[in-house]
Chain A
Amino acid sequence: MSKEALLSLDGISVRFGAGRKSFRAVRGVSFELYAGETLSLVGESGSGKTTIGRAIMRVHPLSAGEIRYRGQRISGAVNARSERLLRQKIQMIFQDPMASLNERAKIDYIVSEGLYNFKLFKNEAERLAKVEKALLEVGLLPEFASRFPHEFSGGQRQRIGIARALVMEPEILIADEPISALDVSIRAQVINLLNQLKRDRGLSYLFIAHDLSVVRFISDRIAVIHRGRIVELAASEELFLRPLHPYTKALLSAVPIPDPEAEQKKKLVIYDPSIHDYGREEPIWAEAAPGHYLLGSPGELAAWSS
C-alpha cells in the first residue's frame, strides 16, 4: 500500500445547534485515508461516525479543524473549482437502497444524474456507454437501465447505488452502512463487489459500519469511535488481536461467533465510561505501538499498553 494520504482530517469537530443547547457530535477527530486502502469507522449509533462521513461530503460544516483532499483544503469556504473536484472524486453509498434511489426515475437517469450535472460526456452515445459500463461493472445487465428502482431486489438496488457512484470515476467512496439492510446471502455479494472494485479501480473506501465481523473482513485499518471521539485506531488484524482500549474490548466481545461452543464460553465485556477520570487528566492521542493509536490519559495509556 502506498502511503499517500488522499484525505486528511485534522482535529475536526462538528457542532449541532447553538448556545447552551449545542451538541458536539464529533470532537477533535484526526485521521488519514491512504490511497487504495479501506478504513472503517465503527461505533454504536450516535457515536458520530455518519457525521464524520457527511462532514467530508460538506453536508455538515465544521466547527473546528480542517479536511484536506490531496493536500488541498476542502472544508469551510472553498472556491468553486475545488468544490467541483471534490463532488466528483468523493462519492457516497448509502444504507437504505430503497430510500436513496429516486422512485420516479429510471435507472438510466439515476446513474447518469452526476454525468448530466458535470457534463462529463460529449454526446449521447458516450453517456449511454458510460452508464452501460457502470452497470456491467456492478454485475447488472445494461438493459436494466430502462427500469425503475422498485423492480429490483435490495441487493440489486444497492448495486445501482454503487454504479451511480462509480460512473463519476471517484477516488474515494464513503460507504455509510452499505450492507446493514441486506440479507446474509446478498451481503456477501455486495462485500465481494466492493472488494473487487477496490482491486480493479484502486478505490479507497471510508467504510462506516457497526457490524464488526464485516469490518474485519473488509478493512485494512479500523478506527473505533465512541461519543464523537476516536478512541483507538489500528490495522484491522492488530485491532482484533490486541485491542487496548476498554471500549474496543467491549465492542469485540459483543461480536457474535457462529460456533455454539465458543459462544457459550465467551464472556461479554461491558464498557463503563465512568472508569475514565478525564476531569483530572486530559486524554491524549498517542501511538501505543507502531501504527496503533489510542486515546487515554497518560496513566491509562501506560496501564493499557503494558
Chain B
Amino acid sequence: MSTTTKAGPLRHALTLNESACVKGDTLLEATDVVIRFNLRGKTLTAVRSASLALKAGETLAVVGESGSGKSVFAKSFLGMLDKNGRVASGSIRYRGAELSSLKGEREWLSVRGSRIAMVFQDPMTALNPLKTVGEQIREAAALHRGLDKEHSRLLALDMLARVGIGEPERRYGQYPHEFSGGMRQRAVIAAAIACGPEILICDEPTTALDVTIQAQILELIKSLQRDLGMAVLFITHDLGVVAKMADRIAVMYAGQVVEEGLSAEIFYDPRHPYTWALLASLPQLGVKGEELFAIKGTPPSLFKEIKGDAFAARNPLALKVDFEHEPPFFSVSPTHRAKTWLLDPRAPAQEAPDTVRRLRARIAEAGKAAGLREPNAPTAVAKADGAKKRKAKKAKEQADE
C-alpha cells in the first residue's frame, strides 16, 4: 500500500516471504473474508465470513451451487471482483503478504498471472478471437516472465505441447475458432501455466465441455499439477467430478464454507446436512424407479441478513437452534470440520441418509457390473467409518428410548 511500491516494477509491489515452500506449507490463506456487492442501491453479501487455506502442491476443490459465492471468493484472490464488489473485511494472505490491501490493476499484476493464474469456464470467451492462440500464450509469458519475443515463443510452443496439443508449430498460428472446445480449454490452460504460477485456480473448467473431453481435461490438470508442483483450487458445482481431482474438499453454501475435509472424509463420512443432500442428489447414486433425492426450495436471498444456519429452511432435519443461532465449526478430525449444530454434543444423534451411507456399496455395485473397474476392497477408512456409524446408531437408539 505504500506509495513507493506504486512506481516500482511489477515484482516489487509485494513483500513476499520467498522461502521455498515444501508440499504441505500454507501458500494462500483467506480468513473471515466478507465480500459485498452494491446492486441497485442494495447490498448483497456474496461471501459471509469464509475461510480457506490452500497448501503448496495440493488440490482443493470448492463445491457449491450457483450463488454459493464460490467463484466470487476465488476471484477475490486475484483482485478480479466486479467494480461494484469489495472485500469488506477479513484478510487474504499469500506467502505472508496481505492481498486485500492491493490497489489497482498495476499492483495486482504482481500476483495475478505470475503467481496465481486462473482458468475460466468458457474457453471461447477467455481467448481473444482476433489473435492467434500461440500469440496469446506468448504474450502472457512475455509479460509475466519478462522474456523476449523468441524465448517467449519457444516457451509458448513448449506449453502447447505440454497440454497435449498435437503439432504445436502449426497450432501456434491458428485462431481460437479453429480449435474445438476441448482444445481451446487446453490452450487457456497453456496460457495460465506459461507464467509459471504457484497456484492455478480452475473455475468450472469442464462445465462447458462434453463428458469425454471433460475427463481428458481433468486428467490434464491433474498431471500438470503433479509435474509442475502447483497448488490447484478447483471450483465446481458437481461433487461427482471432484472425486478424482481433489485432495481436500470445501463445501460452500450461501457464502460460507459449511464443511471441509480430506476428499475421503467428505465422500465417506460427510457430516453437514447440505453435504449429505449434495451427495444424495447425484444421479449416480439414484435407484431406478425411485425418486432421486432433491433438495427442497431454493437458497436464501443474500440481500438480507441470514439468521441462524443458512441451510435450515431447506433442511428437513433442522433443529430448533438452527433457526436461532449460527452454528460454529465443530472438529471431526484434525483435517475435517463442519459448521452444523448436529455435531454439538447436546444435539440428538443424527445419521447421514441411507443413500450417502451406502455410497461406496452403490458405486461398487454399479461399477463392478460394468467391468470397467475393480470392485472395492473394504479399507481401513471404511472400517473405521462403519464403527463410527454403529456407535452413532446406538446413541440414537438410546436417545429414542
Contact = CB atoms under 8 A, between A and B. Distances in A.
Interface stretch (A28-36, A65-73, A79-87, A262-270): A262-270
Interface stretch (A104-112, A114-122, A250-258): A250-258
B130 interface: no
A259 B373 CA distance: 12
Interface in A207-231: 210-214, 216-218
B285 A258 contact: yes
A214 B283 contact: yes
B379 interface: yes
A191 interface: yes
Contacts of A259: 243, 267, 359-360, 363, 376
Interface string A193-212: 00100000000000000111
Given A184-B278, A185-B295, A261-B376, A256 B238 contact: yes
Interface in B265-292: 267, 277-279, 281-286, 288, 291-292
B387 interface: no
B5 interface: no
Contacts of B370: 240-241, 243, 252
Interface in A153-204: 153-155, 183-185, 187-189, 191-192, 195
Nearest to B284: A213
B373 A183 contact: no
A69 to B, nearest CB: 28
Interface residues of A, number: 51
Contact of B212 (A44, A242, A267): A44
Interface in B230-260: 237-241, 243-244, 246
Contacts of B363: 257-259, 262
- Best-surrounded residue of B238, B278, B298, B372 (most CB of chain A within 10 A): B372
B281 A184 contact: yes
A23 interface: no
A100 interface: no
Contacts of B181: 45
A273 interface: no
Interface string B58-74: 00000001100000000
Nearest to A241: B369
B147 interface: no
Given A188-B281, A251-B211, A257 B243 contact: yes
A267 B244 CA distance: 11
Which secondary structure characterizes the binding site on chain B?
A: helix
Contact of B283 (A45, A154, A188, A263): A188
Interface string B356-389: 0001100110110111111010010000000000
A215 to B, nearest CB: 9
Contacts of B364: 262
A270 B283 contact: no
B239 A212 contact: no
B65 A217 contact: no
B320 to A, nearest CB: 24
A19 interface: no
B53 interface: no
A256 B359 contact: no
A271 interface: yes
Given A184-B281, A268-B219, A256 B213 contact: no
B215 interface: yes
A17 interface: no
A256 B295 CA distance: 21
Nearest to B377: A261
Contacts of B344: none
B7 interface: no
A210 B282 CA distance: 16
Nearest to A219: B288
A299 interface: no
B293 interface: yes
Interface string B154-197: 00000000000000000000000000010000000000000000
The winner among B214, B243, B267, B360 for most chain A CB atoms within 10 A is B243
A290 interface: no
A264 B244 contact: yes
B224 interface: no
Contacts of B214: 254, 256
A252 B239 contact: no
Given A260-B243, A267-B372, A268-B216, A185 B211 contact: no
Interface string A130-169: 0000000000000000000000011100000000000000
B352 to A, nearest CB: 14
A178 B22 CA distance: 46
Contact of B376 (A185, A252, A262): A262
Given A44-B212, A184-B238, 10 more contacts: A44-B211, A154-B66, A184-B282, A185-B278, A217-B292, A254-B212, A254-B216, A261-B376, A262-B363, A270-B216
Interface of A: 44-45, 153-155, 183-185, 187-189, 191-192, 195, 210-214, 216-218, 236-237, 240-243, 249-271
| 10 nearest A-B residue pairs (beta carbon) | A254-B215, A185-B295, A188-B294, A188-B281, A263-B243, A263-B244, A44-B210, A259-B363, A217-B283, A189-B294
20 contacts: A44-B213, A45-B210, A153-B298, A184-B65, A184-B239, A188-B294, A195-B291, A217-B283, A218-B283, A241-B371, A254-B212, A254-B216, A258-B282, A259-B360, A261-B264, A261-B379, A262-B243, A266-B372, A268-B215, A270-B216
